[in-house]
Amino acid sequence: MSGSDRAMARSRRAENTGFECVHCAAPVPANTDGHYRNHCPFCLWSLHVDVLPGDRASDCRRPMEPIGLVEKSGKGWQVVHRCTACGHRQPNRLVRDGESPDDLDLVLLLPWL
């Protein structure tokens, strides 16, 4: 593993932490599959923290509502979130495995976009 790969892995671990859901206040554990967890597995709401996926560069920091599903080649099903303040839309991977997978009953209630 190169130095930049090790730095990226450390950065991902530092950013991939648990959090309290902004919508339902549930404690949300960190994701364990190597991807960022950016939405609650219990209500599917998120927080507008990214400009581009994983960059944590947004200053908005407002709640993002789950509004639908899309399927992306190579990424599978993704929940689409819309910021309640600025309207930014962002698809986010479903968490299917690990300590706290997304509630598939809730996911299946979302419309396909």
Distance of CA 8 to the CA centre of its chain: 18
Q: Which of the four pLDDT bands, split at 50, 70 and 90, describes residue 10? A: very low
Q: Is residue 61 predicted with pLDDT exceeding 50?
A: yes
Strand intervals (E) in 1-113 = 19-20, 27-28, 46-47, 63-72, 76-83, 89-93
Tell me the pTM. 0.82
Residue that has been written with the tokens 């689409």 in this structure: 80
The pLDDT of residue 4: 43
The whole-number pLDDT of residue 11 equals: 45
Q: What is the pLDDT of residues 11-47, one digit of tens each?
A: 444 567 889 999 999 999 988 777 778 899 999 999 9
